[in-house]
Structure formats: structure tokens, C-alpha cells
Amino acid sequence: MEKFTTHTGVAVPLRRSNVDTDQIIPAVYLKRVTRTGFEDGLFSAWRNDPTFVLNQKPYESGSILVAGPDFGTGSSREHAVWALMDYGFRVVISPRFGDIFRSNAGKAGLVTAVLPERAVEELWSALDSQVGITLSVDLATTSITAGDRVYQFSIEEYTRYRLLNGLDDISVTLQAEAEIRAYEARRPAFKPTTLPVRV
Amino acid sequence: MGRTLSQKVWDDHVVKPGEAGQPDLLYIDLQLCHEVTSPQAFDGLRLAGRQVRHPELTLATEDHNTPTADILAPIADPVSRLQVDTLRRNAAEFGVPIHSLGDKDQGVVHIIGPQLGLTQPGMTIVCGDSHTSTHGAFGALAFGIGTSEVEHVLATQTLPQMKPKTMAVTVTGQLPQAVSAKDLILTHIARVGTGGGAGYVAEYRGDTIERLSMDARMTICNMSIEWGARAGMIAPDRTTLEYLKSRPNAPQGEAWDQAVAYWATLASDPDAHFDKEVFIDATELTPFVTWGTNPGQGVGLGETVPFPTSFADPIDRAAAERALAYMDLTPGTKMRDITVDVVFLGSCTNGRIEDLRAAADILRGKKVADQVRMLVVPGSARVRAQAMAEGLDEVFIRAGAEWREAGCSMCLGMNPDTLAPGQRSASTSNRNFEGRQGKGGRTHLVSPTVAAATAVLGHLADPREV
């Protein structure tokens, strides 16, 4: 995973709550077996509407999404994170995220920054009055700078550490091979298996 | 201090405790896979030269993309076919057992785990699917994960997880007639909202829950994710044991006794502390349906479409306005006056044998209204066979419904069963998101008996009206 330290980019106001992962990428795009190229599916139903924010300049080149509460609820599809990243988003700001989406984002390198509802509304107003302004997101100091305003955001500490260091979970876990083996040795025999256990 | 059910299961699976602020490394007893969220995970293994650590703790099936008619013909959509073929190839290459289309154990992933007896109390179960919460009905800690985590579990049989907070949802009192587990959970979601459980593992408890069958408990746990709880659990009891005892993968002989002794320890201790508690009085519940585009936007079937101005929070008000526009509904309309084009009975929420029986009881000797198309889609090939052994297929067919093969079907628009733009459905599935059942489709979430009554009368209907 690529390291994330700071990012400055065009912020896109998405004035909606409960943006579920079916809206972020509809199921029909989930039939692919590849891990890239999902940008065409991002908000695809909404992008049919010419007035949708991503169809407006300069938002089509946005990289920071400022959304209402309960962003990424619903289906566990990691494709939602891939679609946002393939489109060019590096950060999503919301007062609250769906748990699985937040976890998936942390694995793929997308920053999910939690700001209070009032701060999100302030950002929306700022984006309305100064269309196309950029925001700067600093993961080391967990701060978002919008002009002369600075907001502190929250993100799970371990996710922040992994993003800052670009750490891949599997290689970290495999360092615990001895502990995994020890656990397997003491696992109860009555636990079910889907196959006859290999000898 | 005592521990909750979820804390006990958690503690029993810690491979390596996390240091301050770091996740615990948890052992995963079972991973279920389907074709949609696994191809990139298997690709990741191949790229890194890794194996599936425990194929015998892994099970694959095909459900999301699969057609529910002519299932032995090649899948017509080439993209769907490639995804299903990819799962078959990955299963063969990595030695993972698979129940493919046509197999007697094929079906929706969350229906087949319990039915095979692979879902047992005290286990950790994951799947690249948010409705993995279903398995919590057995007292398992079961939650949905993304594809990166699927790969992680395939490679290591473990998952680093931050400890969730705990919530008790206590339900007491007798459910009124015609009110089911589905109405209970839809009501709860409407009260707490889609984010009400974010960060929590929920435990459903109380005498109402204790009286529910395993099928009904699965309906409740299934929809935990719809109010934001990643997992929902119910302590195992005699009902759980009776369900499990005859299942093919249940422990046998001495192993059964050992397992039962362990399972008996899994209830939350009387002095256990929950971070949050919620209470529901079952006696005041009614049949419940959704009017909007998230599962929290629901009302009693006897009520009316709400006015956006009735929502105090501006964000909720804006969401209601958007939802009503998408759903093409006028505030003040009686829910019972809403006519539907399609009725869908099935899914991991309500595709089990008791759901089919309940709907068949309403439909027996009746006809589906002329303008309504009703699809009955058993959750698994075994549910289908059981229903046919009981003659339920005849009831549905005589009523004019379509009797289909097992799969996710119209729960989500990935297979041939979809709504056309503008069509309105009453659906026993779990999500009424915009476009969920097909682009432009409009979904009302309902219980199986409301679905059956709606099919007969052509408008959202109380089962007692039929």
C-alpha cells in the first residue's frame, strides 16, 4: 500500500446523508474480476444527471469528498473504495462512516476523516462560496486546512499508523506465525471443517 | 466483572493481543466465499505466491450472479459467467470446497452455512458480504469483511480487529399476531437509524428472542448491518441445539458433548456490562414496511407516507425529500394504498423454509393479483427441495407465482432477476437503496406474510386482510 502523509486537492461537496455503497458503485459493476478500472462505476446512477456535482467543473477533478453522515453504509463491497480511488479520490470526510467501508478504506489507502456535522456543514458553505477551493489533509497531525480554518479530524489510530507507513496487513500478521501455530495447536477438536482434515 | 457473549467469543479467539491502540489478532474458524468479493483476493494470493492456509476452514458457493431459471445452461451474461467460472477455477487451484450451481448444497452463502451445521455457537465466521451477521443467531461472532480482508483470512486464517463496543437489544413480550421477526427488526432500524449501531456488536436478548425459532433469529441477526452494527448475536440455547443436532457438520458423539458443554458457557454473565442498552416492547409492534431508500425509512403498515417536514433534523428532512422523489410517493398517502408491480419472496433475510411456509399459508387457495408478478426464490437448493417435499411449490404455482431455483435473485441487481426502471416491489430482502433491485426500481421492504398478502391484493397489505 502506498504511504499517505499529506494531500492537497479540490474538495467536492456531496450534500447527502446515507450514501450507501450501492450508490457509490452499483452491483452491476461488481461482476468484474479485476482490481482496477472501477472509476466508470463511481456514483454511476447519479452521474447520469448533468447537475450532479461530479459533472460540474472543477469538481470532476476532485480528490477530497465532503459528505453527509453515514457514508459507506450497506454492502461490504470493497469495490466502493476502489471506485473512489480509481476516480482520483484520496480522502473522504464525513461525520460518520459505515464500519466495513471504513475498514476497507484503511486497507486500500483511502483516508476516512471523521469531522463533526457542524464542521462538515461549514466546509459545505465554504465550498459553495469559494467554488473550487482546495483543502489540505495532513494525516500526521490529523488536520484539515481550508483557507485560514483548521479542523482536527479523527481516524482510528492503528489505521492512521498503517497509512502513514504504507504497511500491508498480511506481512505484518505473518510475523505472528508462531502465535498462530500455537493457537491452532490448542484449538478445540470439535470445531467443524468443510473438508476431511488434511494429514 | 462478568463478560458479554461477544466478549467471551472474542477472548477465545485472540491469537495475539494488540498492544495499546492496536488491534487484537483473531483466529477465524470459518470463511465463506462467493463469486463477487473473492476473485481479487485469490489474485492477491497468486501474486504473492501464497496458499490458502486452511481450505478445510473455507467454503465457497455461487449465489449473487447466478440465474434462478435454467440453472444448468451456461450463464447467459458473459461477465457473470466469467466471475462464476473464476470462482470455480480458484476453488480448484487452491483446494477450497465449493457448492456450484446444480449441487444439492448450493445456495445463498448465509443460508447454506447454518443448514450444513457449519455455523455453530462460539465460532468466528467471516465472509466478503455484509450479511454475514446472519450467523450470529447461533451465538457466533460473524461479520462481513472487504476483499483485502478476505485475502488476509485466506492467507493467515486470522484477522486483526479492533475490539468493538457492546450493545444489548432486549426485546420482551409476546409478538402480536401477524407480526414477525422481520417487522421487529425493521421497527428497530427505523428507531435507531442506519448508523445507530456503528462501532457496536449487538446482542439480541429477552423472552421474545428466546421464543423465536432459529430461522426467525437469523432474520433479525441478518439485518444487524442495516442499523450499522457489524455483528448481531443471540446466545445459544435449547432451540439452537435442536436445530444443530441433526445437521451434517454438527459434532458427533463425544465431540457433541464437549461442544455442548462449551456452548453452555457462552451466555452473557448476569453482571456483564454493555456499553449501551436498548429495549423493545414486542407487544406494541405492528407489521412494518419501508417507504424510503434506506432501511431506516419505515413506518407501520397502518400508517401513512411521512411528510419531510415531520423530521426535525435537516439532514433527515433532506434525505426524506430525496427518497420520496425517487420512490415517487406523496406524503400523507396510506401505505396500504401503495400498489406494487412485483413481489419478491427470498434472500438471506427471508429465504428459509419457515419464510416460505408462512407465505404459502397466506397464498393457499388464493391468486396473485393480475397486475402483480411474484417471484418465490428459495434461499438454497435444500430449502427448495424441502419446500417441494411439503408441497409448497404447488401452493405458489397454483397462486400464479413463479417458483424459482435458489440464489440471491432480486435482492440485488446482479443476475437476470431485476426490476425495470420505475417498477415498484414489495420485497422480503434487506435493502431498499436506490437501484438496489435494478436501475430505477423502487423497493418496499416487507415480511414474508406481508409480501404474500400484498401479492394477493396488489397493494401493500396486512396478512390479516387476506
Predicted confidence band of residue A198 (pLDDT cuts 50, 70, 90)? very low
Greatest alpha-carbon pair distance for chain A in Å reads 68
Q: Which of A18, A32, A180 sits opposite B294 (nearest CB)?
A: A18
Yes or no, beta carbons of A158 and B162 under 8 Å apart: yes
CA closest to B12 among chain A residues: A187
Using DSSP, state whether B111 is helix, strand or coil: helix
Q: What is the DSSP letter of B175?
A: P
Chain A with chain B: Cβ pairs closer than 8 A: 218
Which distant-in-sequence residues (6+ apart) come within 8 Å of A152 by Cβ? Answer: A142, A143, A144
Q: What is the pLDDT of residue B438?
A: 96
* Whole-prediction pTM: 0.96
Looking at this predicted complex, what is its ipTM? Answer: 0.94
Yes or no, beta carbons of A179 and B25 under 8 Å apart: yes
A47 alpha carbon, distance to own chain's centre: 19
Q: What is the DSSP letter of B164?
A: P
For residue A199, pLDDT over 70 is answered with: no
Grid cell locating B242: 435442536
Q: How far is A150 from chain B, CA to nearest CA, in Å?
A: 24
Yes or no, beta carbons of A35 and B43 under 8 Å apart: yes
For residue A171, pLDDT over 90 is answered with: no
If you compute the radius of gyration of chain A from its CA atoms, what whole number of angstroms results? 19
Q: How far is A139 from chain B, CA to nearest CA, in Å?
A: 17
Residue B439 · residue B421 · CB < 8 Å:
yes
Tens digits of per-residue pLDDT, A67-100? 999 999 999 999 999 999 999 999 999 999 999 9
Q: Nearest Cα to A46, choosing from B319, B432, B434? A: B434
Place of cell 483446494: B95
Sort residue B370 into left (φ over 0), alpha (ψ -120 to 50) or beta.
alpha
Grid cell locating B185: 427488526
Grid cell locating B305: 407516507
For residue A197, pLDDT over 70 is answered with: no
* Alpha-carbon gap, residue B286 to B275, rounded angstroms: 29
pLDDT, one tens digit for every residue, chain B (466 residues): 899 999 999 999 999 999 888 999 999 999 999 999 999 999 999 999 999 999 999 999 999 999 999 999 999 999 999 999 999 999 999 999 999 999 999 999 999 999 999 999 999 999 999 999 999 999 999 999 999 999 999 999 999 999 999 999 999 999 999 999 999 999 999 999 999 999 999 999 999 999 999 999 999 999 999 999 999 999 999 999 999 999 999 999 999 999 999 999 999 999 999 999 999 999 999 999 999 999 999 999 999 999 999 999 999 999 999 999 999 999 999 999 999 999 999 999 999 999 999 999 999 999 999 999 999 999 999 999 999 999 999 999 999 999 999 999 999 999 999 999 999 999 999 999 999 999 999 999 999 999 999 999 999 999 999 9
* Alpha-carbon gap, residue B126 to A76, rounded angstroms: 11
B145 Cβ under 8 Å from any chain A Cβ? yes
Distances (CA, A) of B202 to A188, B353, B405: 26, 25, 33
Q: Which of A28, A190, A193 sits opposite B57 (nearest CB)?
A: A193
Q: Nearest Cα to A146, choosing from A5, A13, A16, A3? A: A13
Q: How far is B460 from chain A, CA to nearest CA, in Å?
A: 25
User: How many Cβ atoms sit within 10 Å of the Cβ of residue A184?
Assistant: 14
Yes or no, beta carbons of A194 and B56 under 8 Å apart: yes
Burial (0-12, 13-18, 19+ Cβ within 10 Å), B462: buried
CA closest to A199 among chain B residues: B56
Q: What is the pLDDT of residue B322?
A: 97
Tens digits of per-residue pLDDT, A38-53? 999 999 999 999 999 9
